[in-house]
Chain A
């Protein structure tokens, strides 16, 4: 057996040696002397290539048959469209029976109205009413088209130039709804990859705009400049590429969720140091702050050119509806073509635009309104000092006076129950109409809930005294049980 194997080995070796010594093995190709071993290497290469080109083993795919899909479809049960209705969902707000001025009629009784943001008392003012009536007779109610397709009426253009003239900016653009202003403006200028630093207490419109823009969002603590400084520092230090990206800071001038005023001069200092652009939402400060009502920029002494984009909803001091955005011409022209809430939506009804023009004219002609509003705010705050169980968290100059519970129950639901009881009793027993802050399930803001009073220049001293006494009495009653 062994000798047979040895013979085989010998003959194989001889054969190989012969093959290697064959004439072809000594060929010279391109001046390279080919030895016989090249054949072995060539064979190995071919074998390797063959093995690599083989597909790796995958178990064969079997698509589902029609019958199986039918069964799956029959088995599948969807959730109900909405969850079942709980008791809180049956809340009905009080129904007004007259115009929402400083006094309003609810259920046949006259009540003092602190629930509408009628800061300068222009709701129902006769000059505004006159211009609206004239516009209704001339243009009808609606504008019947988006701005690009014959929905641009001359009052819109007049309104835009009036706003720019008032604020001292080159140009402005009108939106047909206050809430859509911010959530259409932000996605125009911020896309995926850009960085936005935003206060954690901003309202839902801004939150939705940030979500739609798909940029990187970083929150900083509510109205805390140190936190803003640290956040900006961290972002510029971390990311080397950040210089090429667009970077924004988004703040509100007077926060709807807490009544605090943003310190604009410090924000501008930070913005210039770290090279960010600023988006400012002046809904609650336009016509309120500053000597002549020009807003937070005048109040803090900052020239309006330093803010890149200013937006505001007109449903507050201007006693009309809609919103506007103002800034440099580049900013405004870009929005006319790519802002979805402007291009794909019908334009503002013309009578509301003419009401806005009249309201701005009145602000310029009667600076006394702003003085009266400031006086009313300070009177109210003085009257509310020492109230039991509630603390004032809004800034001293803010037209939204925000009261939160001194001792929270621990859950938003519990807080809301107490606050709603206070508001209900205030309305029923003392005829003072105040409102609690409401939160949607989609709202990401985690600031405490509270009671809001919107002060108006149309309130008299008697109204304010009545409100203070009423709140002190009711909160004492309701919150006494807890101790």
Chain B
């Protein structure tokens, strides 16, 4: 408490236990401040602590490290030759913020252009853009689903989806991560049983999945899930936060990569923070859906409109990706991120690390399992000028700690080779090469003749 007599303490003791005893000791592995743009190489600010990590103080010293942690899939994070001048121009024309909601005085020409551009890129008739990705999920789900509806969501869905589902008042059921057969079982059971206690039929059913799961790095099994939902007349909500712009031949996301027709997915949601280097989120769907959302969604009616330079950055980056800026930088970036991801993943696996995720996905978690290895891995990598992200409880289960690598199109081959060397060295020190390493090709040539 604050020394107030008669007041109950503001923070409960039990919630604090993990934080006080475990997290504070490894606090320097999280929340590291940077003092430059989050590009392929960036400056990490050094911090020190006088009281055993309870508080960390900034210094003015920085060290240039290789960035394997920021969501910079296509390399738009730093100043870009095409995007930044246009963002500055829009800043001069429309100012940094419209200080108003979209329905009041916050809709500028940029916003209408942006929505058309996004709809065209994603492959849907219309789209609506919000100022923040988290709020998009939390404010849309209560509008689409209400009491008497059923939401079936993947067990590893993101916190924003969970919050939105809870805020909607619908019944929530969970199916095993990425298992279409279990989804079918749950659907059949639920339709047959109806609403809890009254057994009335459900008003509507919605299945929520993500394109790429950020903690697993795997792609969703979208074709099977979509066909099951069609069979049982459930609606599909796809959250493409990590996959839009990063996968697919022309960057259009999971639907393009797996060959699913966008008309089969009822609501497509995504964010612009990852591949486009900006901020905000969008919902794409049929014209009627978007019109209805513009009339009822609280994020549209009460939230400030997306900042104009941010909007311009999205438009410019989409133009670059589609090649409409007159160069083929977009196609190069897409090819580079695919090559980089596949190369890095296969090398790591050859070295004997346990790497999760599918091919083509730019997110690769390396399993550490033991939470005590988190500070060792993180600090040693930083000492050797490689900045990695380690994930602990509560984002993952306590004993399934991992280090998560995010590959970017801005990384060159030399950067990746250096990163592999450092990670291999640290992996040996810390002891996380859980699989046997594949012997080098040269050794195999001298080996026995293969009998086919």
Instruction: Give residues in A with beta carbon < 8 Å to B.
Output: 64, 68-69, 72-73, 76-79, 81-85, 88-91, 93-101, 104, 113, 115-118, 123-124, 128-129, 132-133, 136-145, 147-154, 156-157, 176-180, 183, 189, 191, 203-205, 208, 211-212, 243-247, 275, 277, 308, 313, 315-316, 319-321, 328, 330-331, 334, 336-338, 340-341, 343-346, 348-349, 351-352, 355, 433, 435, 438-443
Contact = CB atoms under 8 A, between A and B. Distances in A.
B432 interface: no
Interface string B270-286: 01111011110000000
Give the interface size bracket for B toward A.
35 or more
A355 B139 CA distance: 27
B192 A117 contact: no
B96 A141 contact: no
Given A69-B192, A85-B288, A145-B71, A208 B167 contact: yes
Interface stretch (B126-134, B348-356, B420-428, B442-450): B126-134
A141 B78 CA distance: 7
Interface in B117-162: 131-135, 138-139, 142-144, 158-160
A145 B303 CA distance: 22
Given A81-B235, A95-B112, A153-B35, 20 more contacts: A88-B295, A95-B108, A99-B95, A140-B80, A140-B84, A141-B84, A142-B278, A150-B70, A189-B10, A191-B12, A204-B301, A208-B167, A212-B163, A212-B167, A319-B97, A320-B96, A345-B133, A435-B104, A440-B301, A443-B298
Contacts of A145: 38, 69-71
Given A143-B38, A144-B72, A212-B167, A89 B295 contact: yes
A154 B276 CA distance: 22
A72 B191 contact: yes
B328 interface: no
14 contacts: A69-B192, A118-B99, A138-B36, A139-B36, A142-B273, A142-B310, A145-B70, A149-B389, A151-B70, A177-B132, A204-B301, A337-B23, A346-B71, A349-B307
B433 interface: no
Contacts of B279: 141-143, 176, 346, 348-349
B266 A150 contact: no
Contacts of A76: 191, 201-202, 233
Given A142-B278, A344-B158, A123 B95 contact: yes
A321 B309 CA distance: 12
B105 A104 contact: yes
Interface of B: 2, 4, 6-12, 15, 19, 23, 30-39, 42, 44-45, 58, 67, 69-72, 76-80, 83-84, 87-88, 91-109, 111-112, 131-135, 138-139, 142-144, 158-160, 163, 166-167, 187-189, 191-192, 201-205, 232-235, 266-267, 271-274, 276-279, 288-289, 291-292, 294-299, 301-304, 307, 309-310, 313, 387, 389
A144 B192 contact: no
Q: Tell me the interface secondary structure of chain A in the complex.
A: loop
A178 B187 CA distance: 38
A189 B37 CA distance: 34
Contact of B132 (A89, A337, A345): A345
A78, A156, A319, most chain B CB atoms within 10 A: A78
B6 to A, nearest CB: 5
